[in-house]
Structure 1
Amino acid sequence: MRRLALAAALALGCGTDNSPAFSSTGVTSVAHTSSSSDSTTTSASTSTSTSGSAEDSAAASSSGVASTFDMAPPPDLGDPTPAGCKGKIDFVFAISALHTMATEQDQLVASLPGFIETIAEDFADFDAHVISINTDGSWRGDYCESPDWCLNKGNCGPYAVDYECGKYVDQVWTCDKTLGAGLIFNAGANAYNKPCNLYGGNRYIIDGEPDPAEAFQCIAQVGTFGEDPPLADSLVAALSPELNGPEGCNAGFLRPDALLVFVFIMDNEDVESTLSAKKVRDAVVAAKGGDEDAIVALAIIPQPLEGEPVPDCVYDSPPEGQFLGSVIEQFPYHADGDICAAEYATFFNGAAASLVHEACNSFIPQ
C-alpha cells in the first residue's frame, strides 16, 4: 500500500517514536451505523437461504437433510462493502487562542503526525485537506502593531520575540480578519509569527505540501492573543457557501466526496457562540449535502474532575456540561478528549482514528 507524502512527512517531521504512553481517560465515543440521527446503537443480523424447488424445501424440512444436487452456485456480487471515502478527508481545526492555551497548542502540534499516519495506513490513496480556522474574527498581529508593543517598544513582548514589527503587515487582508477563514499568519504571544507559504496557494494544506509537519505548526500554533471565541459559530462560518465558494477565503477546501472531520480545542466554556447545538449540527450536515454519515465530530474540552486536579486546568461542572460537548453529540460519529490530559496522542490515535475509519467505511460519496 502506497503511503502518501502528507502522512509520511508528518511522521518524519515531528517523529512519533517518542509519543507518551496511551491511556483512555476522558474519552467518550459513539459509533453509528444507521442513517437516523436518533440512533446511537449498532446491531447486526445474519440470515441464510437456499435455492431449489418447493419439494426440495419440504423434503429438507421433514428429513433434516438438505439436498444440494439442484442448487446453483451463488452469484458473484463483487465486493459488498460501500465505496467509502478512500482516504479523501477534509480536516477542520477550531482552536481557541485565549491566553491559557499555549500548552494545549504544543500538544496538538506534537500529536497530529501520529493521528494522520494512523489514518493513512489503511488508505492507498490518502488525500487530505487540513485547515485551522479563525475562531474570533481578528488578526492578532494588530495587538503586536499597537502602541503598547511595536510602536513604543519595538517588539511584541517576551512571548513573541520572533515577531518582526511592520515586516508583514502589508500581507494582511480581509480573509485574515474573517471568522471561519483559514489561518495563514498567526501572530502574537506564543504564535508562529510568520506567514505560512502553503503549497498550492490556499489557506489550507493539501497533498503535495513539501513539509506538512511545519505547515501544520504554522497554521495551528494560533497563539494566546485571541478574544474569547465563538468556536461553534466559527465552524459554521468555515463551512459556509460564502467562504467555500470560488471567491471565498476557503475556496475549494470542502469537497463533496470527502469525509469531513472537525476538531474543537478549547480549555473553557464556549459562551460566545449564538447558534444552538442543533443549529450548528443542521448547518454542518447541510454543508455535507445532508449526509450526517459524512461527518466525524471531535472535541478536546474540559471534562468532569476525577481524582486530583491538574494545576491551572479547567474542569466541567455537571449537570450543565460543555456546550461544545453538546454540539458534537448531535452527530452520529463523535468523541471527546480531556483538555487536561498530559498528551493528546492517546485520544487522536485511539478513539478519534477509529471513528474516522468507521465513518469512512460507511460514507458513500454522492
Structure 2
Amino acid sequence: MELRALCVALCAATVGLVGLVGCGGDSGTSESSGSPGGAGSGGGQEGGPIGQGGGTFGEGSSSNVGSGSANGGTGSGGANGTGCQHVDVVFALDNSSSMDEEKGSMRDVVFPAFAEALLNVDGILDFRAAVLDACPLPANFHTRGAAGECSFQSGKAWMESASTDITAEFQCAADLYAEDVQCTGNNDDEQPVSAVAAALEPPFSTAENAGFLRDDALLVVVVITDEDEQPVPSQRPQQLHDRLVAVKGDAKNVVFLGIGGRRECEGAYGSAERADNLQRLVDIFAGDGRGFFWDLCEGHLEDGLTNALAAIEEACGEFVPVVN
C-alpha cells in the first residue's frame, strides 16, 4: 500500500475521535517528529527532523522521518534484504497517575487504528503485540489489567493479530495492573526502555515471555512516558540501544518510537518533563533510519504512530533474518 493511502486509512479510523489529524496537510504537530541535536539526528535544533535526507510522510506533511530514507519501501525486500512478513510489537507505558490521558488515548484511539494500518503495509501478514509497564521488576508481559485477566485468544502472554477481539485485549492489558511491581516508586518505575530490554533478555525471555520474539519478524518498540527514561542502575542511551539491538542481531531489524516531552510543558495530555535520555536514544536509532520521537507537549499520539508506519514499511523491505 502506498504511504499516502496508509495515512488516509489511519486517519479514517480515528476521525471523529481526535480532531485536527493531518493527512496531506498541517496536523499542528509538524515540529514533533525529530529530536534536537544528538548523535545521528541531523536535526541540530528544537523540532528539527530526525535523520538526514528523509522524505515527508504523506503529501503536504512537514513531519520528516528516517535517516536518509527512501521513505516508501514496498515491504517486498530491499537491495540486501529478504523482506519481512511478521512484526513483533512491544508497548511500554509509564503507569504514573499523571499518564491517565496518554494511556486512554493509546488504548482507545491509537492502538486500534495502528493495528488496522499495520496489516495494510504491503507484505506484512501478521503481528503480535505485548504490553509492559515502566518497571523492569518484573519484566513479564501483562496478561491482566486493573480489572482482571485479559484472556488473550492466543493463549500466550501476548496478543496475536488473528484475534477477533484484539482491540479489547489491548485495552484490557493497557489498563495496567501494577500490584506485582517491585519498584519503589522513587523514579525507578520511570524506565520503560529498560523494561522492554529486560523483557526480551533472560531470564524473562526464556521464562514468562518465552517464544515471543520470532527470528523472521521485525521488532517494533513503542515507549511512552511523561517524565524521562531513568535506568536503575544507571545506563547510557547507547547501552540501552545496544541491548535492544542485541536481541535482533542487527540495528536495521529494530524500529524504535519514543514518546515523551521535548521540553517541560503543560501540553495536550497534561504536564510533561523534558525527556533528554529518551531523545538521545531516539537519535541513536535514527542513525539507521529506525528512530522517531513524538512530543507529548503537542499531543496527537496517533500522528506519531502514523509516521512510524513509514519506518516499519521501509524496515520490512530491508529486513534480513539473523540466525543467532
Q: TM-score, normalised by structure 1?
A: 0.64
Between the aligned partners of 1:256 and 1:342, the Cα distance in structure 2 is 34
Cα-Cα RMSD: 3.0
Q: 1:276 aligns with which of 236, 239, 243?
A: 236
- The within-5 A match list for 1:1-366 is 15-18=13-16, 19-22=18-21, 23=27, 24-28=30-34, 30=50, 41-42=67-68, 81=79, 82-86=81-85, 88-109=86-107, 110-137=109-136, 178-187=137-146, 193-222=147-176, 227=185, 228=187, 229=189, 230-245=191-206, 248-273=207-232, 274-289=234-249, 291-304=250-263, 312-316=270-274, 322-331=276-285, 332=288, 333-349=290-306, 351-366=307-322
Q: Distance in 2 between matches of 1:312 and 1:16?
A: 21
**1:17 CA displacement:** 3.7
Using the aligned pairs only, state the percent identity: 25
Q: CA deviation at 1:90?
A: 0.6
User: Residues 284 and 232 from structure 1, CA distance in 2 versus in 1: closer, same or farther, beyond 3 angstroms?
Assistant: same
Higher-strand-fraction structure:
2
Q: Which residue matches 1:68?
A: none
Tell me: CA distance 1:244–1:80, structure 2 relative to 1, closer, same or farther (3 Å): closer
Unaligned runs of 5+ in 2: 2-9, 22-26, 35-48, 54-65, 71-76
What's 1:142 paired with?
none
- The question of whether the paired residues in 1 share the 8 Å contact of 2:267 and 2:299 is answered with no
In the alignment, residue 253 of structure 1 is paired with which amino acid? F
Over residues 104-133 of structure 1, what are the superposed CA-to-partner deviations in whole Å (9 max), with x where a residue is unaligned?
001111111222222221335521110012
For residues 249-289 of structure 1, give each alpha carbon's deviation from its aligned partner in whole angstroms, at most 9, with x where no partner exists. Answer: 11111111110110110001233442221111111111002
Instruction: Specify whether residues 32 and 198 from structure 1 end up closer, same or farther in structure 2 by C-alpha distance, changes over 3 A only.
Output: farther
**Shift in CA distance, 25/221, structure 1 to aligned 2, threshold 3 Å:** farther
Contact 2:122–2:313 (CA under 8 A) maintained in structure 1: no
Cα distance change, pair 311–275 in 1 and its aligned pair in 2 (3 A): closer
CA distance in 1, matches of 2:242, 2:97: 31
How far residue 342 of structure 1 moved from its aligned partner, in angstroms, is: 3.5
Amino acid at match of 1:249: E
Residue-by-residue CA offset, 1:117-157 (whole Å, 9 max, x unaligned) = 222213355211100124225xxxxxxxxxxxxxxxxxxxx
Gaps of 5+ in 1: 2-10, 34-39, 45-78, 138-177, 188-192
How many angstroms apart in 1 are the aligned matches of 2:158 and 2:226?
24
Change (3 A) 1:293 1:311: closer
Cα distance change of structure 1 residues 310 and 365 upon mapping to structure 2, 3 Å threshold: closer
Deviations 1:272-324 (A, max 9, x none): 442221111111111002x1000001011011369x865842242xxxx5212
Structure 1 pair 315–125 and aligned structure 2 pair: CA distance change class (3 A): closer
- C-alpha distance in structure 1 between counterparts of 2:15 and 2:67, whole Å: 36
Q: CA deviation at 1:94?
A: 0.9
The 1:80–1:217 alpha-carbon spacing in structure 2 relative to 1, beyond 3 Å, is closer
> Which letter maps to 1:100?
S
- Contact map agreement 1:96 1:135 (CA 8 A) in 2: yes
